[in-house]
Chain A
């Protein structure tokens, strides 16, 4: 994606943008995030930070950021009453 393409989309009336146009915008931001995350990971490797140890089966704050592989099945039906 060229920067000029994004700039054009940004300066276009949103009412005339299509879903394809918006998908291009989303893709551009995802690419930026990947580049950013790559930079963060590189920085972490340089810092040689020791991995954190977590007890098995325990929910922690980190679980709030990423879904655990064995995420709990939640029953929401009791709240519909």
Chain B
């Protein structure tokens, strides 16, 4: 992460490179964006807790396993050969310091990772969604993107939108972005409804259209519910029309104007109607205090761990 260029104009808080995470913070609350993105603060219990690392490691390994599978299939291997390669990868990736990975999480561990990946790949072995092949012949999986937002400049330079796409695939007559989610939540209709409208899915649809010239019509969210002893899977489609994407771009101009204005005013107002959403804002305990003591709470309970939209995915 440290090798990536800064997403800010040097010596300022003007952010030129944005991903769905940082834009999402701004949309939720200017103050949350200030703490999370500009100051790069994380609550200590989140930044260094073993449990948080487990979620991260589990998610990364799951994504890597899916990516490897589709690459092996594109290279000509059949399902059983590719699955063997994936299991070999997981066993090796979860062999730490001469012993199996010891997770502190009851749901996310070596056993549940193997189970979730094997069950998932078996379930979708005859997948009606077909991975798109790029001009190079490589499968369109794990694609990092970065493109300029038209019609808006920051200090004479274009704004950049960036992120990572898990997979591009055809389903029926239309191409879609695939996005993998691992969750402990139930994956019924309510789960998928949260993605329409949704900042991340609109950006991903736009990115696929702009960068890969693929007329993507939306995102298929593939969710893996990981529980103690079992895993379950579901897919949901979230569509985006041309007009919806144009609206999203127009709105993004508004949000970038707002981010610029906040920096110029040196003030990031609190959105006190957002504090309790998404499981509770990590800065709620700060904002709920008298302004005179907030810095003390920030110094005591938070650490600097910057988020960089330009960083490569590990």
B311 interface hit (Cβ, 8 Å): no
* Contact between chains at B134 and A79 (CB < 8 Å): yes
Chain B residue, CB-CB nearest to A64: B235
* Contact between chains at A79 and B214 (CB < 8 Å): yes
Chain A residue, CB-CB nearest to B189: A61
* Contact between chains at A61 and B235 (CB < 8 Å): yes
* Contact between chains at B84 and A26 (CB < 8 Å): yes
Residues of A within 8 A of B235 (CB): 61, 64-65
| Contact A71/B128 with A14-B88, A14-B95 known, Cβ cut-off 8 Å | yes
| Contact A22/B88 with A13-B98, A65-B123 known, Cβ cut-off 8 Å | yes
A63 to B236, CA, bound (A): 11
Query: 4 more A-B contacts (CB under 8 A) besides A17-B88, A22-B87, A22-B91?
Result: A26-B83, A65-B234, A71-B128, A76-B130
B25 interface hit (Cβ, 8 Å): no
**Interface residues of A, Cβ cutoff 8 Å to B:** 10-11, 13-15, 17, 19, 22-23, 25-26, 29-30, 32-33, 36, 59, 61, 63-68, 71-72, 74, 76, 79-81
A29 to B95, CA, bound (A): 19
* Contact between chains at A65 and B100 (CB < 8 Å): no
Chain B residue, CB-CB nearest to A27: B118
| Contact A26/B87 with A63-B128, A64-B171 known, Cβ cut-off 8 Å | yes
Looking at the complex, which one of A10, A15, A32, A74 makes contact with B170 (CB distance below 8 Å)? A74
Most chain A CB neighbours (cut-off 10 Å) among B87, B110, B123, B233? B87
Residues of B within 8 A of A32 (CB): 115
Indicate with 1 or 0, residue by residue over B121-145, a CB within 8 angstroms of chain A CB atoms: 0111011111011110100000000
Interchain nearest-CB distance for B214 vs A (Å)? 6
| Contact A29/B119 with A65-B233, A80-B133 known, Cβ cut-off 8 Å | yes
Looking at the complex, which one of A23, A29, A71 makes contact with B84 (CB distance below 8 Å)? A23
15 A-B contacts (beta carbon < 8 Å): A13-B98, A15-B92, A26-B87, A29-B115, A33-B122, A64-B129, A64-B220, A65-B124, A65-B234, A67-B126, A67-B128, A72-B172, A76-B130, A76-B170, A79-B175
Interchain nearest-CB distance for B38 vs A (Å)? 40
A68 to B128, CA, bound (A): 7
Q: Chain B interface secondary structure, helix, strand, loop or mixed?
A: mixed
Interchain nearest-CB distance for A10 vs B (Å)? 6
A17 to B95, CA, bound (A): 12
B114 interface hit (Cβ, 8 Å): yes
**Interface residues of B, Cβ cutoff 8 Å to A:** 83-84, 87-88, 91-92, 95, 98-100, 110-111, 114-115, 118-119, 122-124, 126-130, 132-135, 137, 170-173, 175, 214, 220, 230, 233-237
A76 to B212, CA, bound (A): 14
Residues of A within 8 A of B115 (CB): 29, 32
| Contact A79/B84 with A14-B91, A29-B115 known, Cβ cut-off 8 Å | no
* Contact between chains at B87 and A79 (CB < 8 Å): no
Residues of B within 8 A of A80 (CB): 133-135, 137
Chain B residue, CB-CB nearest to A63: B128
* Contact between chains at A33 and B119 (CB < 8 Å): yes
Interchain nearest-CB distance for A19 vs B (Å)? 6
A13 to B170, CA, bound (A): 39
Residues of B within 8 A of A63 (CB): 128
Chain A residue, CB-CB nearest to B121: A26
Interchain nearest-CB distance for A74 vs B (Å)? 5
